[in-house]
Amino acid sequence: MSQENILTVENLVMHFGGIKALNDVTFNIKRGSVSALIGPNGAGKTTVFNCLTGFYKATGGHIMLSANSKDTSVIKVLGEPFKVTDFISPVAFYQRLKYKMFGGSHLVNRAGLSRTFQNIRLFKEMSVVENLLVAQHMRANRNLLAGIFNTSSYKRSEDEALERAFYWLGVVDLTEFANRLAGELSYGQQRRLEIARAMCTNPEIICLDEPAAGLNPSETEALTKMIRVLRDQHNTTVLLIEHDMGMVMDISDYIVVLDHGEVIAKGNPDDIKNNPKVIAAYLGAEEGEEVTL
């Protein structure tokens, strides 16, 4: 298991029919960093996220997640087709069969990766606190009989889950809305709740898809603070997609720039700011033309 990189993406390829959404994307995310994925509209940023989180099954390449003290190949746990070599090696055959039968995107989350969506996807007809409880079912006693008979271990695990839910409600400043329906919250509150819900699955890396979209400047500032809290107090690696360049340059340690499904630049914010290729991609300049930000 790699100690330094929590996420290793190699030669990631994603085709939708004849459209090449991602073409040979390679980057690494360092443990404990705040990294950003930026690029013009349609560059393939969300597609990368969807591949990382198992929302899509990538056409080719490798995604290795090194979290919860083990390596998980994201593409493998989604279930791959059988290969000829599997029929020679029983171990490979068993693994392939296991993931084909029981694999799926839930395993990616259980391996320590969590995400939020650009368009908010809360369980709108459940209460705020239930949204957070549902995300924690993996660590608690979820035996149905224990639930019906309300055993003491079940009660204890429920109490712990509630406590954690209220802790996160406090972090995102939604404690007073705990029993409201999630769909009744305002837009900014829903965004914060989504982050809290993602954090309740106890991830080592959280992927935020445009967390600041639709927020006003003061809300964006609060969000920036919260992302720092996630990294500094909860040792969570943060990977975000964002269009708000001020925010990206402010909080990122590392930036990956995508354009037309390819990585055109990687580096720290200062390098990216002065990279001519990035400026060209954003401003649409001709090759070789001099542009400054």
Q: Under the rule (CB under 8 A), what is the footprint of another protein?
A: 53-55, 102, 104-106, 108-110, 114-115, 117, 121, 123-126, 130, 133-135, 137-138, 140, 142, 144, 147-148, 158, 197-198, 201
From the CB of 135, what's the least distance to another protein, in Å?
5
From the CB of 271, what's the least distance to another protein, in Å?
32
From the CB of 104, what's the least distance to another protein, in Å?
6
From the CB of 23, what's the least distance to another protein, in Å?
25
From the CB of 19, what's the least distance to another protein, in Å?
20
Q: Which own/partner contact pairs does 209-213 have at CB distance under 8 Å and 24+ positions apart?
A: 209/46, 209/49, 209/115, 209/116, 209/117, 209/118, 209/240, 209/241, 210/118, 210/240, 210/241, 210/242, 210/243, 211/116, 211/240, 211/242, 212/242, 212/243, 212/244, 212/247, 213/118, 213/243
In the bound state with another protein, the residue whose beta carbon lies nearer, of 4 and 82, is 82
In the bound state with another protein, the residue whose beta carbon lies nearer, of 88 and 144, is 144
Q: Are strands 254-259 and 34-38 parallel, antiparallel or unpaired?
A: parallel
Nearest 5°: the CA angle 10, 12, 15 is 170
CA distance to 2, 57, 69, 190, 239, per residue, from 48 (Å): 21, 11, 24, 24, 11
In the bound state with another protein, the residue whose beta carbon lies nearer, of 51 and 272, is 51
Closest CA to 240 of 221, 255, 230: 255
From the CB of 134, what's the least distance to another protein, in Å?
5
In the bound state with another protein, the residue whose beta carbon lies nearer, of 70 and 106, is 106
Whether the CA torsion 103, 58, 265, 43 is positive or negative: it is negative
| Collapsed DSSP state (helix, strand, coil) of residue 68 | coil
Integer Rg of the chain from CA: 20
In the bound state with another protein, the residue whose beta carbon lies nearer, of 27 and 49, is 49
In the bound state with another protein, the residue whose beta carbon lies nearer, of 194 and 259, is 194
In the bound state with another protein, the residue whose beta carbon lies nearer, of 166 and 282, is 166
- Under the phi-then-psi rule, with left for phi > 0, alpha for psi from -120 to 50, and beta for the rest, what region is 194? alpha
Residue pair 73/63 in contact (Cβ under 8 Å)? The answer is: yes
Q: Give the whole-angstrom CA distance, residue 247 versus residue 220.
A: 8
In the bound state with another protein, the residue whose beta carbon lies nearer, of 126 and 213, is 126
From the CB of 153, what's the least distance to another protein, in Å?
13
From the CB of 152, what's the least distance to another protein, in Å?
15
Q: Give the whole-angstrom CA distance, residue 166 versus residue 152.
A: 21
